Amino acid sequence: MAHAGLRQSGPGSEAERITPRQRAILTAIVESYIETGEPVGSGTIAGSVARMQAGGSLSGNGLSPATIRNEMAELANVGFLEQPHTSAGRIPTAKAFRVYVDELAGRGSQRASRLLSGGQLVSQIESSFAGVAGTQALLERTSHVLAVVSSGVGVAVATLAADDSLEHVHFSRLAPGRVLAVVVTASGMVRDRVLTLPADATERELEVAGNFLNEHFRGWSMERVRAEIGRMVERERSEYQQLLSQVEQLWAAAVPDNSGGMQTVYVEGVANLLGSRAVGSPEDVARLREVLAALETKQRLVELLDAYIDARQDSVRVIFELEEHAPELAGLVLIAAPARMAGDARGTVGVIGPKRIHYENTMDAVSYVAQVVARH
């Protein structure tokens, strides 16, 4: 599984297989490719390497285009670069992007100091969250801010603890066997979920079921509602049981048992993938539809974040090769971090975008937004 976001170490580290000069050249190639989306030639990066040497981040004198070409050929031989056409320049592989991100992660203390000292990014984020109150509004604003600052897809997920209580539930019939359930908790979390039922239910039956839950269980914890409905079904042996069975079925589908927690997902910026910077090259229409469908399927995103982001860690993680968990997201990258929220709620904030995303800016944004969410 291809994870980045923490500096790699050990003799098997990809970054340790190349020399400092090769790493500088690789960095220049990745940054040029992120900026232009075009294959990179030796002449294009000669100036970037010269600036690194002048700035002291790379020892030695200027490198000739011929020397750079030789180094690029060696990087291609070990899998860091590929050549799309015989006469074209080179483009970085996923392996190269991982090394590049590891270099950025290694400068974590510098990035932290930069964020603490403020700046345009910090000011933009702080002003965007001004006046936001309540969990729902916070998550909605989080996904919006991350989409704006990254030009990618902003994602915010929160999982409330089992003791968050029910405020209101409403069921609406969408089609035969399909129901929209909206569950509102006392903390302000709003969870909407489309349910597929084995048997159709009329609008009247759904109204009765919703009224029953609101009248009997308002103020109860999610898990306590589940347990009590189960006990009531066991006790009743009358026509009343038919209603209870339907209520139990609807509640179980609306609030699945995940250790009592209830997850809410906000996604914004899916249209950014249609932009020229995000796409980078012409996309097959069917392939793009698969990507958009996957990003709009909120439960798919929850599974993806659960697979890669550990709530016990504080660092930003950069995940390549998402196709290992979600084949339809091949070619995209996830930049995310856990976010502690008010009470016992757990959250994750992040960005999904193309490999040509601006990594340093996005990593800084995700890191700072996670801190802002924790303060609210």
Q: What is the pLDDT of residues 302-340, one digit of tens each?
A: 778 887 887 667 788 999 888 888 888 888 899 999 987
Which residue, 63, 92, 121, sits at the end of a domain? 92
Are 352 and 337 in contact, with CB atoms under 8 Å apart? Answer: no
Give the per-residue pLDDT at 13: 52
pLDDT band at 143 (very low <50, low <70, confident <90, very high): very high
Q: What is the CATH number of the domain that holds 355?
A: 3.30.450.40
Does residue 99 form part of some domain? no
In a domain, 267, yes or no: yes
Give the C-alpha separation, 127 to 118, whole Å. Answer: 12
Q: Is residue 103 part of a domain?
A: no
* pLDDT higher than 70, residue 206: yes
Residue 51's domain is classified under what CATH number? 1.10.10.10
Q: Does residue 193 lie in a domain region?
A: yes
**Domain end position, chosen among 220, 254, 288:** 254
Question: In angstroms, rounded to a whole number, what is the distance separating the alpha carbons of residues 10 and 178?
Answer: 53
Contact present, 172 and 163 (Cβ < 8 Å) = no
Are 248 and 271 in a shared domain? no
104 belongs to a structural domain: no
pTM: 0.70
The three-point CA angle 340-100-317 to 5° equals 15
Give me the residue label for tokens 């996670």: 370
- Pair 157, 170 in one domain: no
Question: Is 329 inside a domain boundary?
Answer: yes
Domain that holds residue 221: 166-254
Last-in-domain residue among 254, 273, 298: 254
Looking at the fold, whether 281 and 364 belong to one and the same domain comes out as: yes
